[in-house]
Structure 1
Amino acid sequence: MTQLREHSSKLRIKMKTVLFILLMSYFFIPSVVPLQCYSCTNAQSNEICNQNSPVNCTGSQDRCMVSKVSATILGKEVTTLTKGCIENSKCTGTVSVVIVSAGTNCCDKDLCNVNGSVTFHENKLMLTACASLIWLILKLIN
């Protein structure tokens, strides 16, 4: 009878230890929750884009992105937005060439691509290359 009580007591201690470890792991081991981002393709405005349900990023996609293309044609500006998930290595800056500006901004928090803003910065190397190409074409034509 004494051995049975000792065995029962040891079993309770083991069960309490296991329960304690499970409880601590619940609080201290982070759960893997995928990043959520707004997602759309070639939306005409940020409001239209954000009407879509957010998506869960998968695999190595560890950033939310906003890609914006703006063109001014005959005095009218046309802008499209694309949002979604992307790998950090594919996040690029901005390019402005004469009438077209394109850029991508990335962030790493849930739904951080909500505002759809991309700041365009002048890319002097690209502008110089385009100006040189135009000059060369004009030289060949004349």
Structure 2
Amino acid sequence: MTFSTLLLVLIVTMSATVTPARALQCFTCIAARSNENCNGNGPVNCTEGMDTCQTNVIGAIGFNTFTKLCSTSGVCASLALTNIDLVVGSVRTTCCTEDLCNASRGGPSLHAPLGLAGSLLILLLTLLIVATATF
């Protein structure tokens, strides 16, 4: 066997055994009113470098807002350290690293009527979380 033939066999064998990196799959949505609505968008393939599925749930007096996205482990872990649980509401970030691992709701559940001020607070907190996660 010649050197060029041997080299060709080696290249073909190595290329057949190397599997390309596969992207993490996460559910994504912004400010969905329910976990089911959020997951209804279906999963997405995360871009390179995004190794974590992040779920942000903001709850305030009976109303939950779900935001799910592809993130990095560092950003998600930082946000998870800022989880807040108060009598009138909460902000919770959860992180996971398996395909479709953010399918469950993973957040607070509060049941009572919500006023306009509470709705605006939830909207502002959701925008803050999304803005923070993208930078």
Aligned to 2:75: 90
Unaligned runs of 5+ in 1: 1-8, 121-142
Deviations 1:4-50 (A, max 9, x none): xxxxx53xx642552244223322x3412211110111111111111
Corresponding position of 2:23: 34
Identity, % of aligned positions: 34
Partner Cα distance (1:59, 1:16) in 2? 34
Give the Cα separation in 1 of the matches to 2:49 and 2:6: 39
Residue 65 of structure 1, CA deviation = 0.9
Partner of 2:59: 70
The residue identity in structure 1 corresponding to 2:37 is: I
**Cα distance, 1:25–1:59 mapped onto 2, change above 3 Å:** closer
Q: Secondary structure at the match of 2:23?
A: coil
Asked if 1:118 is matched to 2:90, the reply is no
The 1:119/1:100 distance shift into structure 2, 3 A limit, reads closer
Could you say what secondary structure the match of 2:103 adopts? coil
The higher-RCO structure (CA 8 Å, 6+ apart) is 2
Give the alignment's TM-score, normalised by structure 2.
Answer: 0.67
Q: Is the aligned partner of 1:19 residue 2:17? A: no
Aligned residues: 105
Corresponding position of 2:117: none
Counterpart in the other structure of 2:40: 51
Within the candidate set 96, 101, 104, 2:93 is matched to: 104
Determine if contact 1:45/1:80 at 8 Å carries over to the other structure: yes
**TM-score normalised by structure 1 residue count:** 0.64
Give the distance between the partners of 1:102 and 1:47, measured in 2 at CA.
19
